[in-house]
Homo-oligomer: A and B are copies of this chain.
Amino acid sequence: MAGASGYAGGELLRLLLAHPDVEIGTLTAGGNAGTRLGELQPHLLPLADRVLAETTADTLAGHDVVFLALPHGHSAAIAAELGDDTLVVDCGADHRLADSDAWDRWYGGEHAGHWPYGLPELPGGRDALAGTKRVAVPGCYPTVSSLALVPALVGGLVEPEVVITAVTGTSGAGKSLKPHLLGAEVMGSLSAYGVGGVHRHTPEIMQNLSAACGGPVSVSFTPVLAPLPRGILASCSAPVAGDVAGAAEAVREAYEKAYADEPFVHLLPAGQWPTTGAVLGSNVVALQVAVDADARRVVVVGAVDNLAKGTAGAAVQCMNIALGLPETAGLPLTGVAP
């Protein structure tokens, strides 16, 4: 596994340690190569004495599955050197976008291409992953936003003009040494960033929503940084399409139907709203829907653990599907609360 010293890598290892069908092989890192994992990820006690190798195609060779938890732009080169028999699960952004122009605009650099997209709960999502040898794990915001909005869009219940404000814990920014991520800055403060459509997850959300409803969807996306380590709460809305009378029932029905058989998407009973605390450490997205008759909008709130179902849990879930294992193997349904 490449990127074992970061937050996504650490969460992957936590989940894989509990997976009944997985044996953990080589662990690699960039600047932290040569270090005991126990120094960097002291919560992974059973792996404390593992020493990190350099991230190269050589050190990663010879595994059935390779997880890449690398900064954006580093996955493609490594993946190209790993054989076609190896299942490569990329937690980075390199292979998420189908549209090269979108890649150019939001990321820049050479576009590495598009891999099967790791959100099985999207229409047709599971089929695209069965038996694949390459998986692009979705971004954390796109995961919760897409699951929150797709049933309403697919059902034609809302206009394709969505507004999303998503509040996130700070681990989503990774273990980056930036002043605004220091504890003293973060605690006791809320801050907006990437406002006005400039956040890199915007085109990915657009891609998912447009594919689902077969037409262009405009997306206004505002991320907010809040003082907690993990969790995203996304407040998503769109104008009711057609008559507002009966919309509430139609919307609820659409979501119940869409997710009735999904093990990891949980539509809460009417009146109960999602909290990120309840899904902390679990692979679950919790949703609730409402129709604001005065404002004529459908409002969907979704909660997810950005590191679990938002990244590492999704990676494991996709591995399970790709390898034909039980989809829920090794993936917690219970959160760690309080």
Contact = CB atoms under 8 A, between A and B. Distances in A.
A325 interface: no
A190 B295 contact: no
A135 to B, nearest CB: 24
A163 interface: yes
A283 to B, nearest CB: 10
B190 A43 contact: no
Q: Bin the interface of chain A by size.
A: 35 or more
Contacts of A182: 170, 175, 177, 181-183
Tell me whether chain A's interface is mostly helix, strand or loop, or mixed: mixed
A222 interface: yes
A178 B218 CA distance: 39
A161 to B, nearest CB: 7
Q: How many copies does the complex hold?
A: 4
A214 interface: no
A75 B313 CA distance: 40
A293 interface: yes
A181 B183 contact: yes
Interface string A196-222: 110000100000000000000011111
A104 interface: no
A275 B284 CA distance: 27
A45 B284 contact: yes
A333 B46 CA distance: 7
A20 to B, nearest CB: 10
Per CB-CB distance, the 6 closest pairs between chain A and chain B, nearest first, are A189-B277, A196-B290, A183-B186, A43-B335, A165-B165, A197-B292
24 contacts: A7-B184, A18-B334, A42-B286, A42-B335, A43-B279, A43-B335, A43-B337, A46-B334, A165-B165, A165-B222, A173-B184, A175-B179, A177-B182, A187-B187, A188-B228, A189-B275, A189-B276, A190-B228, A190-B277, A195-B301, A196-B290, A196-B299, A222-B237, A226-B227
